Structure 1
Amino acid sequence: MQALQALKREVATLKEEKLKLERLWEHKEDAYKTSLMETQKAKEAANLRLHEASQKYADLLGSMVPLRAEVAELKAAAVNSKALEVKLGKTGGELAAKVEALNLLQAENVKLQADVNKLQVEKEFLDKQLATKNSKVEELEKCNKELIDDMAGTFEEGFKEALAQAACENPGINTSNCHPGNQIVDGKVVPLDLGE
């Protein structure tokens, strides 16, 4: 009877250890999930900025095309016709302004391209970080499984040792109903309720 009480205490201790390990695992898993979500959000934000920069770059290229065409047309008209020299004289200020606008757009284009490159590097870094965190979560899950398997083996060995001690102290005792999956309720051996 003392051996069974000792076994019950050992089972209760193992249950407490299991609950502590489960809580520790849940805490670590929550922390990694939070970190994973933050990394994913940062990646999504970088992708959005990359898309916006690409769109600005495309818009910039689109706005440069008509200006280039207009400048080329005015230059061709100036070369081909002396009569247009007067018109060019009148619109020279406009042409200069448009050339200056074109130069500004080209400078903006260079800046946007640098931003696109920077966002691409940031996206690649976030992808690597996400892969590393996924790998750590898998490693923790593997460690958790190994701990649970190890605890189950230790419990099994302890149970067998307690049965052997009970049989040694009480020769002829029938231990065939004794199993780690059973418990004593109201003086009867019944299956262990794992929901407790």
Structure 2
Amino acid sequence: MQALQALKREVASLKEEKLKLEDAYKASLAETREAEEAVNMRWHEADQKCADLLGSMIPLQAEVTKLKEVAENFKALEDRCVSQEAKLVETEGELAAKIEALNLLQAENGTLQADFNKLRVEKEFLDKQLATQNSKIEELEKSNKELLDDMAGTFDEGFKEALAQATCENPGIDTSNCNPGNQIVDGKVVALDLGE
């Protein structure tokens, strides 16, 4: 019951508020219409003044149109000049950069050419030294081989002479297992260890 009464009071309060809002809306609408009429009236006056001014400006309008065309042509020409100038500056910058790069490349090329010539002279000198060294190595290898051959021949002759002396001193001794590839270790004839 109390909830119903409270709801009724709330409904009554909302109705009052609705009436107030409707009154305010009507008042605001009336003010808006008055303001609209005032604006329309002023608009009409301004429109009339514009028409009067337009009538007096018709001779000037043709002149203004001509001046606008001249100004547009001038502006287009000016824009084209600015664009051409910007392209010219850009081209000059690119040209300067390319000239600088070319100068650097020429300087670097001169340095590289000098280095190349120096290296070529050094290579020729080293090739001559290498040829000389190779020739010396060949001579040394040849001499070494001759010495080894001589030493081997001398060793073989000395071994045969020693073997002949041993046989002469000890007739009947068996020397069949004696050769330059053997040695005596602990009283026995064994193969020569070439790793020592």
**Does TM, scored on the shorter chain, surpass 0.5?**
no
Indicate the structure (1 or 2) with the bigger Cα radius of gyration.
2
TM-score of the aligned structures, taking structure 2 as reference length: 0.41
Task: Determine which structure has greater relative contact order: mean sequence separation of CA pairs < 8 Å that are 6+ residues apart, divided by chain length.
Answer: 1
